[in-house]
């Protein structure tokens, strides 16, 4: 196998890391309500975990409020329980067959917690990228040991692999920096 094929085959995996990281950051709310903050909250309904977006209509009637209208009002208790476990720190109010979530304003302490959480998520993304780099590097070395990859190609592959890893780490940094600016207001 050509070393370029080995290096290029992780690009889709690294793209998945970036997509996952972006989805994770959407859940770090900064005081503005969006349906994405709650739509993937898993609700224990009918003995299985179901995303909230499959159980209710979700809207944002006000900048700091999320309105959840369950398809069936028997879901309300399970939805509230799942929301309380989700670390949203929002106040939920049940009105007839709807749930209103009021998001808190950002205190300095809350901002610090969000920045710490952002940092943890960035590091998780980078760890995943490093794991992929190690896996591909092992495959390249194995190809070299088996005589399928020449020595100079092995070192070219190492450089190209590191360039690719640096590119994706830079993407994580840039995305994280944008979110950091949002949090700091």
What is the reported pLDDT for 32?
A: 67
Low-confidence stretches of the chain (pLDDT beneath 50): none
Domains in the chain (CATH in brackets) are: 3-25+107-184 (1.10.132.20), 31-102 (3.30.1360.40)
What is the reported pLDDT for 160?
A: 93
What is the reported pLDDT for 30?
A: 64
How far apart are the C-alpha atoms of 147 and 129, rounded to whole Å?
27
Whether the predicted model's global pTM rises above the 0.75 cut: no
How far apart are the C-alpha atoms of 167 and 129, rounded to whole Å?
11
What is the reported pLDDT for 60?
A: 86
SS (H, E, C) the chain: CCHHHHHHCCHHHHHHHHHHHHHHHHCCCCCCCCHHHCCCCEEEECCEEEEHHHCEEEEEEECCEEEEEECCHHHHHHHHHHHHHCCCCCEEEEECCEEEEECCCCCHHHHHHHHHHHHHHHHHHHHHHHHHHHHHHHHHHHHHHCCCCCHHHHHHHHHHHHHHHHHHHHHHHHHHHHHHHHHHC
What is the reported pLDDT for 1?
A: 62
How far apart are the C-alpha atoms of 95 and 36, rounded to whole Å?
22
Q: What is the pLDDT of residues 3-43, one digit of tens each?
A: 788 888 899 999 999 999 988 887 776 666 777 777 888 88
How far apart are the C-alpha atoms of 65 and 61, rounded to whole Å?
6
What is the reported pLDDT for 136?
A: 93
Burial class (CB in 10 A: 0-12, 13-18, 19+), 141: middle
């Amino acid at each position: 196998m050509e070393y370029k094929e080995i290096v290029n085959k992780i690009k889709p995996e690294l793209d998945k890391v970036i997509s996952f990281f972006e989805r994770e950051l959407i859940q770090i709310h900064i005081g503005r309500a969006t349906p994405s903050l709650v739509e993937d909250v898993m609700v224990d309904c009918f003995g299985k975990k179901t995303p909230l977006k499959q159980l209710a209509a979700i809207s944002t009637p006000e900048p700091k409020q999320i309105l959840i209208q369950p398809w069936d009002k028997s879901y309300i208790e399970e939805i509230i329980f799942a929301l309380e476990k989700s670390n949203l720190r929002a106040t939920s109010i049940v009105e007839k067959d709807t749930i209103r979530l009021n998001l808190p304003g950002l205190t300095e302490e809350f901002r610090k917690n969000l920045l710490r959480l952002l940092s943890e998520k960035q590091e998780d993304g980078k760890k995943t990228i490093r794991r992929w780099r190690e896996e591909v590097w092992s495959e390249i070395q194995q190809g070299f040991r088996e005589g399928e990859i020449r020595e100079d190609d092995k070192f070219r592959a190492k450089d190209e692999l590191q360039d690719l890893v640096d590119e994706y780490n830079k993407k994580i940094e840039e995305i994280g920096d944008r979110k950091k600016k949002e949090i700091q207001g």
